[in-house]
Structure 1
Amino acid sequence: MKKFLYLLFLGVMIYSCGTSRDRDFNKKEIAATANDTVRIANDSLEYEIIIIEPGFNLFINSIARPRGYYSQTYFENKNRFLVQDYNMRVRNPQQFNPNLYVQEINYEPDIDYGYEVNYLLYNYFVFFSREYNQRFSVPTRI
C-alpha cells in the first residue's frame, strides 16, 4: 500500500509539471503595449503630454504614490530640475544612450501646467529611472 501511494504521489507530481495548454505571450505583450499610452492635452494652454512606455500604466496605477500625496509645488520644483537634467542628456548622445534619451522635453517653469501634468511627468521620471536604471541629479523617490 505504501508503494502504491508513493507511485501515485510521484505520478501526480510528474503530471503537474507538464504544461496544460499552449500560451501565446505575444498577444498579451501587444495588449499591454496598446494600453500603455497616456495622453493629456489642454488646447487653451496649448500643452500636451504623451507618454508611450510599456509598463507605465501599471506603474502609475499600482506603484506610484496616489494623486494628492505631494503638492503641485513639490512636483513643479522636482520637474524643473529633472527636465533640465534629462534635456542635457538628450544633447549629449556621446555620453548618454541616444536610444533612451530621444527627444527633449519642453517644460517651462513659469507656465502653470496643472497638477495632473506635473504628477504624470514626475512619475514618468521615477518610472524611467527605475526601469532603465538611470540616476538623475535630483533624487526621485517612491
Structure 2
Amino acid sequence: MKKFIYLILAFSIIACVPQNKPQDSSSNPEISPSKNDDGEWDLQVIDTQYDYFLNAIAKPMNMYSESYLKNKNTFLVNEWNSYYYSGKYRNVIESSIDYDPQENYGLKFEYKLYQVFAYVQWKYGLRMSGLSGADIR
C-alpha cells in the first residue's frame, strides 16, 4: 500500500520531494493540480485498476453535476488532508492535496477526483464521511 501515491493522483505534476533526496522535516509532500497542454485541468491516475474501476464499478460521469462534485470534493479533500496531517491511515495517504474550491476545474476533473476517493474506499476499504455506498455501482 506504500505505493498508493504512485497509484493515485498524479495531477500531471506531483509536487512531492524527490525520493533520491532526504526529506526535510519542515516540508510536506503535496499534490497540486495543474493544467495540461490544452489548458484544461487534468487528473492522471497511475493504476490499472483505477481504469477498471471507472469503467466497471464507478457511476458514469453523466450521473453527477459539476456543482455536486465540487461540493463533495471540497469536503473530501478537507477530510483527506486532515487524515494526512494527523498521520491517520499512513499506509494509504502519503500526501496532502492542494485543491482550491474557488477554482473552476471543470466537470471531468471534478469527476475523476471524486472517483479517486471512491476508488480508495473500494480498493483499500478507507471509509470517508463524504462518500456513501451509493457512490459505487
When normalised by structure 2's length, the TM-score is 0.66
Q: Which has the larger radius of gyration?
A: 1
- Does the CA contact (< 8 Å) of 2:76 and 2:128 recur in 1? yes
Flag structure 2 segments of 5+ consecutive residues without an equivalent.
Answer: 1-7, 13-34
For the aligned residue pairs, the C-alpha RMSD in angstroms reads 2.5
Cα distance change on mapping 1:77 and 1:38 into 2, 3 Å:
same
Cα distance change on mapping 1:45 and 1:106 into 2, 3 Å:
farther
SS of corresponding position for 1:110: coil
Flag structure 1 segments of 5+ consecutive residues without an equivalent.
Answer: 1-35
Other-structure match for 1:67 = 61
- Does the CA contact (< 8 Å) of 1:90 and 1:102 recur in 2? yes
Instruction: Give the counterpart of 1:98 among 90, 99, 103.
Output: 90
1:139 positional shift = 2.3
1:119 positional shift = 0.4
- Does the CA contact (< 8 Å) of 1:37 and 1:57 recur in 2? no
1:97 positional shift = 2.5
C-alpha distance in 2, partners of 1:47/1:53?
19
C-alpha distance in 2, partners of 1:63/1:38?
21
Other-structure match for 2:130 = 138
Cα distance change on mapping 1:85 and 1:126 into 2, 3 Å:
same
Richer in strand (by share)? 1
Cα distance change on mapping 1:80 and 1:66 into 2, 3 Å:
same
Other-structure match for 1:107 = 99
Cα distance change on mapping 1:65 and 1:49 into 2, 3 Å:
same
C-alpha distance in 2, partners of 1:107/1:59?
23
| Residue 121 (1) aligns with residue 121 (2) | no
Deviates more, 1:71-80 or 1:53-62: 53-62
Instruction: Give the counterpart of 2:47 among 44, 53, 57.
Output: 53
1:68-111 CA distance string (max 9 Å, x none):
11111110010000000001111111xx1212110111110000
1:66 positional shift = 1.2
Q: Provide the identity percentage.
A: 31
